[in-house]
Structure 1
């Protein structure tokens, strides 16, 4: 399917920046990430692309310690964690996870809870939000993702695209400074995936800082400010989206783009 997202609207900056220095990850003798560096400003959108096995998802999961990095420094929205040598204290990890929202390939909604409950419960448990306020926030977020009529539905009654939009609303309910997306449309049919990409596009236009692992080359080109290309656990190149897509500097990037764009 060929489509274009068109020109990004002017952004309204929100509080959130990302600095990653010398990030590495090993599983025993196996080295899966090596010396990954990234600096993002507030409201910036960076898409991460590259072949399977490049370390893209592992890198993203290291940023909020779903995977424990072996070394490096992570700074997100004012939270700073130094990996390796000693275990970060609980307060630092809680802060890091508090300022990052994450959306996965699978939707990870609670099947026994309604849509409203899926969005309201994390607010009450994590933020200590009152019942009425949590419900009010959930209603606003359902409106924001275009599903105000699904509040009383259960996840099993929703399409995959609708479930993923609810997952985005749930992540936003905790007011993160940075949103991490790990191939959010890979489990969806292309047409359904467009619903999710449209919500992500709106978030980008609103100024949300976003780091997106994706195979959606049109999204990477049209919505991202920059593209980071990964291969063999490291960064092959990073630059303005249009430049990387049309004039990549790295030969491995050129091979990858030719393969995916010629399909």
Structure 2
């Protein structure tokens, strides 16, 4: 890893009217690093992910991904927005697959339209990724014929097909039962091992402690604690962080 972070967030602030969701958030992730963001519901975790790829433009602050830097208070050109998003893949809580397209076509469509790949090139890459997530046999199926865990793995394959440098995960297992969630977490572990830079909003404490390099605990739109994963989870310093982790461990 170089000393310069690949993803850097500086003083990110996001408000909706009088309601402030994020307050001067600062975070950084180096290339190949895995950051887990944990914290109680409503703490701003998902909004922070959406600010990174400008689904929700921040009101203030600076987002840097690779060689692209965008300031929240200035108008963003289409060119800069495309450059930013070309480096980012995102997997949501809901799978957001096209129900009328086959699994294979769900993965090839954006490759052809965004990257300009031929159908043959896109299909080859899609099949390689479906094999990687253990679903090559589902290529001709429609999403409705797949389980929730399978659909989420297809969504991961679709995001990877656009060659992102960073993967953003917004609680990818929250809509799944524990057994299906393990299928998805297994794919995410493999991605982390392969060196993919990842930012993961999650309630999966085992993943946060054992797979991520660093953990950020959020509450009330702020970063309460940040540091090496096991150190933060095993020995939180603030009373609010201890309260959250105690509640999680008592479930």
- For the criterion TM > 0.5, the same-fold answer is yes
Alpha-carbon RMSD: 1.2
Secondary structure of 1:102's aligned partner? strand
TM-aligned CA deviation for residue 17 of structure 1: 1.5
TM-aligned CA deviation for residue 207 of structure 1: 0.2
- Runs of 4+ in structure 1 over 6 Å off: none
TM-aligned CA deviation for residue 253 of structure 1: 0.5
Q: Name 1:50's counterpart in structure 2.
A: 39
Q: Deviations over 1:199-230 (max 9, x none)?
A: 00000000000000000000000000010000
- Give the Cα–Cα distance (whole angstroms) in 1 for the partners of residues 139 and 29 of structure 2: 35
Matched, 1:65 2:58: no
- Give the Cα–Cα distance (whole angstroms) in 1 for the partners of residues 192 and 100 of structure 2: 31
Task: Give the TM-score taking structure 1 as reference length.
Answer: 0.93
Match of 2:177 among 170, 183, 189: 189
Tell me, yes or no, if the aligned pair for 1:32 and 1:232 is still in contact at 8 Å: yes
- Give the Cα–Cα distance (whole angstroms) in 2 for the partners of residues 61 and 77 of structure 1: 17
Task: Give the TM-score taking structure 2 as reference length.
Answer: 0.97
Q: Deviations over 1:75-130 (max 9, x none)?
A: 1122211111x211111011111110000000000000001000000100111111
Q: How many residues align?
A: 249
- Give the Cα–Cα distance (whole angstroms) in 2 for the partners of residues 82 and 68 of structure 1: 9
Unmatched tracts of structure 2, length 5 or more: none
Q: Name 1:162's counterpart in structure 2.
A: 150
Correspondences of 1:210-249 after superposition (within 5 Å): 210-249=198-237
Correspondences of 1:1-263 after superposition (within 5 Å): 17-84=6-73, 86-263=74-251
